[in-house]
Each structure stands twice: as structure tokens, then as C-alpha cells.
Structure 1
Amino acid sequence: MSNQAKVRICSVGKYVPEKILSNEDLTKWLDTSDEWISSRTGIKQRHISTTENTSDLCTKAAESILEKSGVDASEIGLIIVATMSPDSQSPSVACKVQGNIQAVNALAFDLNAACSGFVYASSVAEKMLSVAPYRYALVIGGEVMSKVVNWEDRSTAVLFGDGAGGMLLERNEHTHSFVSEDIHADGTRGSALTSGEQAVNNPITPKTTSDAHLKMSGRDIFDFVVRSVPKSVKDVVEDSQIELNDVDYFILHQANARLIKAVSKKLKQPIEKFPQNIQHYGNTSAASIPILLEELIEQGDIQLGSNQTIVLTGFGGGLTWGSLLIKL
């Protein structure tokens, strides 16, 4: 960092749609029950968009972040949106957010690393901001997963929800929040979770069909997480030359309560250090980590500027996974 500026987290925010879909609601068209869903996933309900698209959720999250920070949108130089459920292939969600909040001086682009997206985007934003001529960067994870889920598929329909969350990063001379990182991908196992598949379709190719719905091998994903995520957390902590016991909170992607418990057990750390809100939101993919982070700050469990140590860990489609160790 000797030749680069320091980067700190100065504000967080979130937005979720008003409509709540409970487990009981799902039983109206799925062969399932509240007991079946909650015992296997920890999920009791999820927020579902009725009219708002991904850019709408991300815009409202951005407005919340800026309102709390007191920073004007014109001061932002970079906007990255992590999403696997964009409004469209073009323009990007980030460009729509840039226009909506009138961040006239910001470059903007989307990043897709599925449920690891917020970790990936935060890493990229920190590095760009540390050498940039601008002062602020906005990092948002936003998803409308209800667009990509097959609502007749019990194995996936019960898992996902919609929402957006993010943080404002500031380039400064005194405080650096990002201590170490450990980020990976393995495309050889990518078929374990797919979404939005599009077949080649033009006048000179044979006619083909494709199913764009999200499809997931739950067992393969579970095995991948249990094997890869604890190692990533250990590596990022060891790289920062502290002990696991020194970490105040491990903020994991909210995919499944059983997974979080399994990672806690593997790391031999108390489950109390692994906060959860999956019961209220379900799996919101790239939005899950920033939504949880915002809630922990709002509740006072975590305070910006407190010198607390947290680990943010994402894992999902790609396959992708990674961890950031952050000093607040």
C-alpha cells in the first residue's frame, strides 16, 4: 500500500421489496410445507419484487447509502453492481443506477460472480479506488432472483429472494479497511449451478431450445462449500497474521442455515460469530452479504470506525468463492 491511497468503508445501505412471500404462501402451488423448508434451509420468508427490476432495487439502495453518508452523487467516480439477474444485457444495471442517481462523473459496470459477486466487486473497487483520481466508489450487490427461478421447481423456488445492498468506499490517507483477500474460481465445476443459458440461435444454425431458469445441484454445491469455504476463511485470516479467535464476525453469504452451521463447525468457531438473516430474506445471491452487513451496523453489533475485524465470504455459481478480511 506504500504507493497507493488507503480505502475505507464510510457508509452502507440496503433496499428490499415490500412484498413478503412466506413458506405458507408457497404451499398454494408447490408440494411443500413450512416445516420442510425451514428445517432444511432456515428460511421462513423472502421479499419478492412485483414491479421493480434489479436497477430499481439498486438505485434505492444507492440512495440510502448516499443519504447516510452525506456525499453527493456527483462526487462518486466508480459504480460497480454485482448481479446475476440484470434488467438487460445492455445497458448494465450500474449504468442505469448511475443515471438514476445522477452520478455524472462516475464510470459504471456490472460484475457477475453469482453469489460471490459482492466479494469480487468489493475487491475490484478497492484496487481501482486506491490508484484513482476520484474519491468515492459505490459497490452494490443487487438481485431480482424471482425472475430467474422456476417457480414450479420445489428444489430451487423455495430458496431465493430479491433485494439490494451496498457500501460507499472512500479514498483517504489514514484508514485502510481491506486487510487481506482470498478469491477463487473453478469453471470445471460450473454446471453445478446455471442460470440464463442461451442457445446459439441464428438463420444458419439448427433450431435449438434452452431453459434459462436457474438450475442447481444442491448436493454438489453443499460439498463444494464445506470443502472450499472454511479453507478460504482460514487462508485470509492467516494472511493477515491474526487468529480465527480474533475475528469478531464471519459474515457469510446467506445460502442455507445448515451450510453456515457446517462452516462454523469446520472452523471450530461459535455459531454466534456467524450472524444470519436468511430466515427473513432467503438467498438473495450477490445482495445477501451487504444486506446482512447493513443490518448488523443498524443494530449496533458492528460499528464503522470501531476497529472491529470481520470476514466477508461469498460462494456460488461459476463456481466462485472468496473472502475479504476487513478492519472497520
Structure 2
Amino acid sequence: MTKIIALTYQQRITILQQLTSAQLAALSEFTRYAILSRFHTRHYLSETDWEFQGVTIDPWYQRTHDHIGENLYCDCGRRLKNQFVLRSRTTGRHLFLGISHFQQHASIPAKVTHEIQAGINEINLYMDSILLAYRNGQRFPRKIFQVVVDHQGFKNREGLILYKRCNLFNQVDLPLHQRDYEQLYSLYITINDGHASHLTKREINQLRQGIADDWRQIDQQITIFNYILRQCLLSPQDLHRVKSNSVNYALQRRKTRFFIHNYKQILGLTLTKARRQLRIKLRQLSFYVQVCQELPATAIQCEQAKQVMIAHEMKDVDSHFYGIKEAKSLLMRSIDV
């Protein structure tokens, strides 16, 4: 059994200070995705009036002078590293909170809050092992990863969390967690042994569920973008126009106009169609990044969205699509008013 070593706060900060801005962003996206997965699988808030809408992580929380855009805050005014977004099932009201204020502002039972905090502590332990490996001189195993990619070891498995983590950490040369490395090395050995990699029915269902989870978390990011645009005083009509343009952009150059509106619909699609819907959703997310990337209030959200696109091998684009120009114009007009 691998010994788990927890870093002290100061040890963690010391190593984080050595990372580049891009490495911090990739590590934050890894942490954010792990938190999302926990909320989606543990259903922490199912017995409350609150619905989990997502989490935003400030990669540059400890870097005051290098900080990009605006800070994240709790509704009480306290600056945050992790900002959780909750929505009331009865009133539709949104709360932006740090984990320590779940009970105070949302009346979420202490037992549930402690359970969530325990999960985050476990994720931090996972991250600590990556930071320790980095401090010890380990970096991303690019040669092994490239062999697996070149021999199509991830074919039909692009939805695996392992593949997305590899895409993220390969970009910035961060080491994998030991368990992730062992999974990657196992694929490498399978390829070297000449064994073909076939998906079982169970694996196909797992991939479809993974695609549905990815679609849902991207949809949550888009919801947060729309919330911020609403705070920028976009009128309901203008916001509706922006949303319509985002869908048109997502479907641009596609033969089908089929566009799902709920992640559960993914579970009824073939794997090919499910992947197609995820790519469409990623293009919609790209629309919001292009529209909002010059807005300081969305700098952290835009960075998170870019990390999601990297994880899914989607290139950062700069489109001249009319709908993007119109959305930027509507946004600038509302800010100037």
C-alpha cells in the first residue's frame, strides 16, 4: 500500500510558489473536477432545499501580484479560493459561498458540511502527492503517453478521466498521481504486448455516464457565465439573444440541429451521438469564453473553461462568427450604460 503523506500548509504553499501560472491552472482544474465528481456521485445536498450548481477555484489565490482578473468572494464578503455555487430549489436564488459558510447562509446541516469538507480534504491529499512528486523532480511521462496515443490506446476511451488528466498535465509537464501513472503504464504494457483494446458493454455504459457528467458540468459553467452577464445588467431580451447565439455557434457547420437540454438525455444516446453532443456543448462553452474573456469579472471562469477544453483536446479558437460580435456589442453597451 502506498503511504499517504499530507503536506503542511506552509509546505504546500512553498511548492505551489514554484509552479508556473499554467501549472497552477491545470492543478486547479484537476481539483475542481474531483470536487464536481464528488458532488455528483455523493448527492450531498439531496435532503436540502439547495441544488449544487458548480464550483469555481481561484488558481492564483496565493499570488496577489500575479493575479488575473477579479478575486472570488463569499456572499459575506470573505475572499475565497474555492467558491461553491448553490441554487434554491424553491426560490431560484443563487448563493456563492465558501464551504465554512454552508451552515450559516444556507442552513445546511453541520453533518453534511463536515462530510463535504472530509471529501475536499481527501482531494487535497491526492493533490499533495502530485506536489511531492513535482518537488522530487518527477514530471509528466510524455514518452509513455505518446506511445499510448500513437498506437490508439485511448481509442473509444477519450472520455476516461485518466485521458483528460493526461491532456491537462502533459500541457504543463506536471507529474501524474501514482494511481494514474499505473493505469497509464498498464495501457502502455498492453500495447507493447500486442493486445487489442476492446470495450465491454459495462465500459461503454461507464463512458456514456462519464460523457453525461462532463456535459452537465459544462452546462453548469455556462449557467454561471449567464448569471454573471445578468449581473452586468444585460436585459432579459439581450441575454436571450446571447443564449440563442451560443446555440447557433455550437451547431455551426453541423448537419444536424439536434441539441439536448438535459444531461440525462445523453444516457439514451449511442456512444457516437453522445460524443457529438459533448463536442457541441464544448463549442457553446467556447462561445462564452470568446465573448467574456476581456471582462475582468469572468477571468477565472474563462481560465477554467479553457482548461476544460484542453482536457477534451479542443483548441482555443478566435472566431469571427457574427453572433460573437453581437454578444460582445450587447455586453459592452450594458457596461457603458
Give the TM bin, normalised by the shorter chain.
under 0.3
Please tell me whether Structure 1 or Structure 2 has the larger radius of gyration of its CA atoms. 2
Greater fraction strand: 1
TM-score (norm 1): 0.27
- Normalising by structure 2, what TM-score? 0.26
